[in-house]
Chains A and B, each alone.
Chain A
Amino acid sequence: MIWAVLCFLLAFQGPSSEALRHMQAGTEAEKKRQFSVAITEFREVTRLEPTVPDGFVRLGQAFLENHDFGAAIPPLKQALKLSPELSAAHQLLGYALLAQGYAAEAVSHLQKTDDKAALGIAQLEAGQLPDAVVNLQAALANRPNDPDLLYYFGRASGLLSKQSIDTLLANYPDSARAHQAMAENYYVLRQMPQAEREFQEAIRLRPDTPRLHLELGLVYAGSSQWSKAEEAFRAETKMQPGNAEAAYQLGNALLQQGMMREARAELKRADTLQPEMPETLYSLGKAASLEGDAASAEKAWMKVIEIEKTSDLAAKAHFALAGLYRKQGKMEDAQREMTEFQRLQDTATRPEGPQKQ
């Protein structure tokens, strides 16, 4: 694309026939991926037409394709000296500078192009994180499944998040939010005692902060301390009676403790607050089944399958239904559900690559 534009420009500016011949020879060599030949030809173009920027652009591009990024920079800079607004030169120079580690300089050139992806990457490398996130997000809107973009966007977002947290910790180390942030880190690292300590400190400082009790409850749940988890989830539901997640977690903690009736009531509340959540429906089915209400359990699990179809949760619902039907003596139905469960399990466990070591 870039090369077609340049050929057009070159023809329009009327270079000598000898320069045009070298230009064509260079282009042919490039097509054959004979980059050193192309470089020689384009260098000849710049010698013959030292005031026309296009030869320098092609030369820079050939260096780039030959992965000789440092060598690409002088001809591209020369092209911009001759024609400061030449977008293709800005773009290629941006790439070359970025590849050589001059991210901040690359940003200034890439800003003059429409290449949001390259600009976002350059900004990420230059530490301009908020701008990087914006540009990478814009690029992702056009190429949502690009693994490179997904990677850079994830990295930029993560670093931005870390930057904010670092600022928080440095400037307000004794704030509730600082303790919350540290607690969340410990939780991710599964260092539950430390996570518990930090969450408790955050709660002590600002007990009315939403989600603090919920997250503390998750710490307890993660280390199977169900009665403490219940207490924390209960505190969250008291503070945020409209929070479906808190209601679900409380229901689940009650379920783990074998308190079926209370669990079911709380899960029903979660389902009312946020209907059609598969996790809630699955647990609701479980609580109903444990209470002996087979019809409600069946209804909840059927709903899970309707929503999820092939997920792990759907497999669990099929398995649960098989057990329920078996108990009711509906052996054909049980067998059907078990077959479906096994099919989903097989799909989930089918190896996709080399086995883990």
Chain B
Amino acid sequence: MHWLRWRCCSGLLALASVVTSSMPIFEVSLSRGLDFTHRNSPTPQKYLIETMGGGVALLDYNNDGLLDIFLVNSGRLTSPMQTPETFDRHDPLYWNRLYRQNRDGSFTDVTAAAGLSNAGDGNYGMGVAVGDYDNDGYPDLYVTSYGKNVLYHNNGDGTFTDVTAKAGVAGVGWSVSAGFFDYDNDGKLDLFVARYMEWDTKHSKTCGGEWHTYCPPEEFPATTNILYHNNGDGTFTDVSQRSGIAAKKGRALGVAFADYDDDGFTDIFVANDGMQQYLFHNNGNGTFTERGLEAGAALSEDGRRLSGMGVVFQDYDNDGRPDIIVTELPREIYGVYHNEGNGLFTYRSLEAGLGVLSSGSSGWGVGLEDFDNDGWKDLFVAQGHVLDNVEQIDPSLHYQELPLLAINQRGRFQKADAGVSSPWAARGAAFGDLNNDGREDVVMTVLGGHPQVFLNRGPKQHWLVVTLRGTSSNRDGLGARVRVNGQTRFATTAGSYLSASDKRLHFGLGSAETAKIEIAWPSGIHQTLNDVHADQFLEVREPERP
């Protein structure tokens, strides 16, 4: 009798476990008021820019405690484009959009009121970076384009001002992902701009013979990335040459920052398309040395070049060191470069389970976030192939794909139900807690489509969200290493693809009701907080130097 009862209950437990693990974490919907449509204007000319856009940022631009959404639009293309190139963006259909989040979770389009409707006729929009470059407590926006980039200063009154000319950060060519970080630890955020290639519509071409499709990156010359040093007076100086960044030409799409060798200076990882990846080691004297190959983070395990697109530079296995995950094209497997702690990385895609999860997919925006609050960062990837006719060329591949949600089981990822059934040609992805419920949400952009909001309805476990308030360091503490109960996050808004995420640092605590917080600030100051209560949004102010 007892034996039978045990069998019965054990069976139910097993069933419950299956049900729990198969329950979708996200509820996916088009949030009220978020009426944005990305316009990429595809043409028969197959201009490469058409397939690459779709940046998104999560930021609290008005400091009301709720995350707002900024979406980058692309622009109107003519078929064929005339010389000189113009991208008509006067029509509101082609504007970038800022959506303010209301208390009820709906959004209001505040683009015009915020002064962001001047998307620029010469620009075909790509991505966005967020950072408080003047330390005034309000996040500023940097919008990248094929054409001229734009820096919008947040005036703190709900409006922005285009300060590009004064700041000297317009750039040229085809900029993609960008990010703010403080490479010289002077307390002011500098700016890195990843550029894709030397390309223009005049020199565009199609490839694939009868398939008439977009060309691979190797068909066009590589180009340099740009590093701007923040002078602290509202201007920046282009230090690409003297810092050594411009010494390496590449085909960059993604960029992420972390101090991989724990020397106190933030390093740069650049995801390059169709070539080796770049790891720019910060020498601590204003210069960088590219060390991808010698550090073991440049190629696949087999020495193959990767189609690097998005990148995240965070610790996935809770050993305290930032690892790198690069999203790529099908048949390549998303690259997992595990940080060994001695300045070296090992390729661990297979051990991490990504051989199965990614070898048939094209990944773009990517994030490592603890979606189920169990203390292990999970993986989310926005997916969809580059070529809109890829099914004709290779029926086993798909232009539109479901996003990948993979739950981290102590360093090994296992596919989970993301709560969606319709595939998209997704590109950007930004991460943050939209509804302040302690669970990380995702906003994913869709090429030529509507953005998708993934509201986290995952298990209720304990959590902690830390907001850094730098004093000696930059005001948002970007570049800080924060450890909470054995997990580590590197403070950044950059990473993913074309996108910028919430600056707040989210930690899942599992069943722990308190936490120990250890912060290594970019200034070099170390700070420890013990017995911090779980389930709160905590602002931590950097202590003054003794």
Give chain A's interface residues, CB within 8 Å of chain B: 190-193, 222-227, 255-258, 260, 286, 290, 315-316, 318-320, 323, 326-327, 329, 338, 341, 345, 356-357
Set of chain B residues within 8 Å of A192, measured between Cβ atoms: 395-396
Q: List 16 A-B contacts (CB under 8 A).
A: A193-B395, A223-B360, A223-B396, A224-B330, A224-B360, A226-B359, A256-B350, A258-B353, A260-B351, A290-B350, A319-B303, A327-B340, A327-B344, A327-B346, A356-B219, A357-B207
Separation of A224 and B398 alpha carbons in the complex (Å): 13
User: With A192-B395, A222-B396, A327-B344 in contact, is A345–B303 under 8 Å at CB?
Assistant: yes
Q: Say whether B172 faces chain A, with CB atoms less than 8 Å apart.
A: no
Partner of B351, one of A258, A316, A341: A258
Q: Are the CB atoms of A190 and B351 closer together than 8 Å?
A: no
Distance, CA A323 to CA B297, complexed state (A): 10
Residue of A with least CB distance to B348: A290
Q: Of all chain A residues, which has the CB nearest B355?
A: A256
Q: Is B394 an interface residue (CB 8 A)?
A: yes
Task: Indicate whether B157 reaches chain A with its CB closer than 8 angstroms.
Answer: no
Which residues on A sit within 8 Å (CB–CB) of B356? 224, 226-227, 256-258
Task: Decide if the interface of chain A is mainly helix, strand, loop or mixed.
Answer: helix
Q: Which B residues are in CB contact (< 8 Å) with A318?
A: 303
Q: Return chain A residues, CB-CB under 8 Å to B352.
A: 258
Task: Other than A223-B360, A224-B331, A327-B340, give 8 A-B pairs with Cβ distance below 8 A.
Answer: A222-B396, A226-B355, A256-B350, A257-B350, A258-B353, A323-B296, A326-B344, A341-B303
Complex Cα distance, B394 from A326, in Å, reads: 38
Chain A residues lying within 8 Å of B342, measured Cβ to Cβ, are 329
Interface secondary structure of B, over-half rule: loop
Which one of B207, B347, B360, B396 contacts A190 once the chains associate, using CB atoms below 8 Å? B396
Assembly CA distance A260 to B480 (angstroms): 36
How far, in whole Å, are A258 and B293 apart by their CA atoms in the complex?
24
**3 A-B pairs with the lowest CB-CB distances in the bound complex, closest first:** A319-B303, A223-B396, A224-B359
Q: Could you say which of A258, A315, A357 contacts B303, with CB atoms under 8 Å apart?
A: A315
In the complex, which residues of chain A have a beta carbon less than 8 angstroms from the beta carbon of B331? 224
- Chain A neighbourhood of B301, CB < 8 A: 286, 320, 323
Determine if B395 and A190 form an interchain contact, defined as CB atoms under 8 angstroms apart: yes
A323 touches B347 (CB 8 A): yes
CB of B207 to closest CB in A, whole Å: 8
* 47-79 of chain B: CB within 8 A of chain A: none
In the complex, are the beta carbons of A255 and B302 less than 8 A apart? no
How far apart sit A326 and B293, CA to CA, in the bound complex (Å)?
11
Q: Which of B302, B347, B350, B394 contacts A258 (CB 8 A)?
A: B350
Which residues on A sit within 8 Å (CB–CB) of B457? none
Is the beta-carbon distance between A319 and B302 smaller than 8 angstroms? Answer: yes
Contacts of B469 in A (CB 8 A): none
Q: Which residue of A lies closest to B299 (CB)?
A: A319
Distance in Å from the Cβ of B329 to the closest Cβ of chain A?
Answer: 12
Interface flag for B319 (CB, 8 Å): no
Contacts of B302 in A (CB 8 A): 316, 319-320
| A226-B355, A255-B350 known; A320+B303 contact, CB < 8 A | yes
Chain A residues contacting B219 (CB-CB under 8 Å) are 356
> Closest approach, in angstroms, between the C-beta of B51 and any C-beta of chain A?
20
Task: Please report the C-alpha to C-alpha distance between residue A329 and residue B303 in the assembled complex, in whole angstroms.
Answer: 19
Instruction: Give complex CA distance A345, B347 in Å.
Output: 19
- Tell me the bound Cα distance from A118 to B344 in angstroms: 62
Question: How far is the CB of B321 from the nearest CB of chain A, in Å?
Answer: 15
B contact residues around A193 at 8 Å (CB): 395-396
Cα–Cα, bound, A260→B348 (Å) = 12
A326 to B331, CA, bound (A): 27
**Bound complex: CA of A316 vs CA of B356, how far in Å?**
21
In contact, A191 and B395 (Cβ under 8 angstroms): yes
Instruction: Decide if B294 is an interface residue (CB 8 Å cutoff).
Output: yes
Q: Which of B188-232 contact A (CB under 8 A)?
A: 205, 207, 219
Inter-chain CA distance A277–B391, complex, in Å, is: 35
Bits for B286-312, please: 1 = Cβ < 8 Å to A, else 0: 000000011010010111000000000
Q: Is B249 an interface residue (CB 8 A)?
A: no
Quote the shortest CB–CB distance from B231 to chain A (angstroms): 39
Which of chain B's residues have a CB closer than 8 A to the CB of A255?
Answer: 350, 355
Asked whether A190 lies within 8 Å of B303 as measured between CB atoms, the reply is no
Task: Return chain A residues, CB-CB under 8 Å to B360.
Answer: 223-225
Q: Is the CB of B394 within 8 A of A190?
A: yes
B101 to chain A, nearest CB (A): 39
Q: How far is the CA of A301 from the CA of B359 in the complex (A)?
A: 24
Distance between A318 CB and nearest chain B CB, rounded to angstroms: 8
In the assembled complex, B412 has its CB within 8 A of some CB on chain A? yes
Interchain nearest-CB distance for B210 vs A (Å)? 14
In the bound complex, how far is the Cα of B331 from the Cα of A315, in angstroms? Answer: 19
CA distance A208 to B212 in the complex (A): 43
Render B162-173 as a binary contact track against A, CB cut-off 8 A, 1 for contact.
000000000000
Give the chain B neighbours of A191 by CB distance below 8 A.
395
- Complex Cα gap A315–B299 (Å): 13
> Which residues of B have CB within 8 Å of A326?
294, 296, 344
Most chain B CB within a 10 A radius of its CB, from A326, A327, A329: A326
